[in-house]
Amino acid sequence: MTNTTYFPIDKLKESETPLYYYDLHLLDETLQAVKEASSYPNFHVHYAVKANSNPEILQRIAAAGLGADTVSLGEIKAAVTAGFPAPKIVFAGVGKTDEEIITGLQYGIGCFNVESKEELGIIEELAASLGIKAPVALRVNPEIDAHTHHYITTGLAENKFGISMTMLEETVDKCVKSEHLDFRGFHFHIGSQITDLTPYKILCERINVLQEQFKDIEIPLINVGGGLGIDYDNPEKNPIPDFKTYFEIFHDHLKLRPGQQVHFELGRAIVAQCGSLITKVVYVKEGIGKKFVIVDGGMTALIRPALYQAHHKIENITSSSEIEEKYDVVGPICESSDVFGTDEVLPITKRGDLLALRSAGAYGEIMASGYNCRPLPGSVFSR
């Protein structure tokens, strides 16, 4: 029932909760699996820093040889500090400021993934003022439904991301004619936590059509974004996502030109399973026909359940009871959405027990906030 073999219980008991526990051995295994599955000569994987920018994690990913996909100057700096070479850093986001663009240019980052023709105009101007050429890829909105939660689908016409198909021709034309823009190719990202891989096949077909449409233009790279999902229900059974099938889809379905590079931007699939939120039971409260387990880490430590109605597997890692009961597991924050789970089956749980919320390595620690003046969670690593 309890999972004392996986977690370093003594170390966790001594540490201040809530905290994130990272299994670095699993991270290394995951990175190895990514590298093996993507080992086609023209495939390059960039880690989406926004999933988790804990320095220890970033350094390991940089050391494994991946590039970095960033969405702010802060992330670019974190990536550089962690050891990612600037040419292997790409920069996306709908609201890049002048300062972010200038600094990115000065660092010599590999590519700006441009989200609008307005942004393209500003990048051109700023590159001209520095007397250089900015490497740009145009983010195309392919209008594909990724069949994921509507807050994390990004490839539909109604989303704020990317350049619509109707405006693409004039935008490509502007790039190609500019003295200060170096057109690198097209960028796509259709959503996150994608577990049915069919949308990726549709994406490949859209890309093939687009390549036909722009057959007279040189397109050095195609960036297919990220979004590969993980198994939140069974972290023990599926600790490492099926990278092989994922990369094979692109290998089998994309009609690439000779020498054309394919870039991938995986975040969640790389870091989610190696992290757990460890939180302590403050009270077990008797409600009407219900028992509440109130823990010390709520939506300020892990916001995904409150933000996306996500569910993380919950384990009591210190109870030695063989008897199970149903509990609603809730945080201490003054918001009704501060709920980690309802009718969770746990061994008899008492004040002081430690719970682990599994698969919390992505969009967990990085999204923690100081709401209610709570301190940010710390982190503990396996060695």
Residues that bind ligand PLP (CB under 6 A): 48, 50-51, 69, 92, 189, 192, 225-228, 265-269, 362
**Which residue is it, tokens 């999902």?**
229
- Element (DSSP H or E) covering residue 183: strand 181-187
Residue 50 CB, shortest distance to ligand PLP, in Å, is 5
CA dist 131 and 119 (Å) reads 18
Asked whether the beta carbons of 200 and 249 are under 8 A apart, the reply is yes
Beta-strand relationship, 354-357 and 275-286: antiparallel
Residue 90 CB, shortest distance to ligand PLP, in Å, is 9
Residue number closest to ligand PLP, CB atom: 267
Q: How many residues does the chain have?
A: 383
Taking the least distance from each CB to ligand PLP, the nearer of 184 and 189 is 189
- Please name the residues in contact with 107: beta carbons below 8 A apart, sequence gap of 6 or more: 76, 80, 86, 89
Residue 39 CB, shortest distance to ligand PLP, in Å, is 19
* Both tokens assigned to 317: 């890692």
Three-class secondary structure of residue 127 per DSSP: helix
Asked whether the beta carbons of 295 and 280 are under 8 A apart, the reply is yes
Quick count: other Cβ atoms within 10 Å of Cβ 75? 23
Taking the least distance from each CB to ligand PLP, the nearer of 33 and 48 is 48
Taking the least distance from each CB to ligand PLP, the nearer of 264 and 340 is 264
Residue 228 CB, shortest distance to ligand PLP, in Å, is 6
Taking the least distance from each CB to ligand PLP, the nearer of 269 and 278 is 269
CA dist 7 and 277 (Å) reads 11
DSSP 334: S
CA dist 121 and 117 (Å) reads 6
Residue 51 CB, shortest distance to ligand PLP, in Å, is 5
CA dist 189 and 184 (Å) reads 16
Taking the least distance from each CB to ligand PLP, the nearer of 69 and 315 is 69
Residue 242 CB, shortest distance to ligand PLP, in Å, is 14
Asked whether the beta carbons of 73 and 50 are under 8 A apart, the reply is no
CA dist 260 and 253 (Å) reads 14
Residue 24 CB, shortest distance to ligand PLP, in Å, is 19
**Which residue is it, tokens 């439904």?**
145
Taking the least distance from each CB to ligand PLP, the nearer of 70 and 349 is 70
Quick count: other Cβ atoms within 10 Å of Cβ 131? 7
Half-sphere exposure of 146 (CA within 13 A, CB side): 28
Taking the least distance from each CB to ligand PLP, the nearer of 71 and 317 is 71
Taking the least distance from each CB to ligand PLP, the nearer of 67 and 332 is 67
Taking the least distance from each CB to ligand PLP, the nearer of 266 and 354 is 266
Residue 141 CB, shortest distance to ligand PLP, in Å, is 12
Beta-strand relationship, 19-22 and 378-381: parallel
Residue 188 CB, shortest distance to ligand PLP, in Å, is 9
Residue 161 CB, shortest distance to ligand PLP, in Å, is 8
Taking the least distance from each CB to ligand PLP, the nearer of 135 and 331 is 135
CA dist 356 and 382 (Å) reads 15
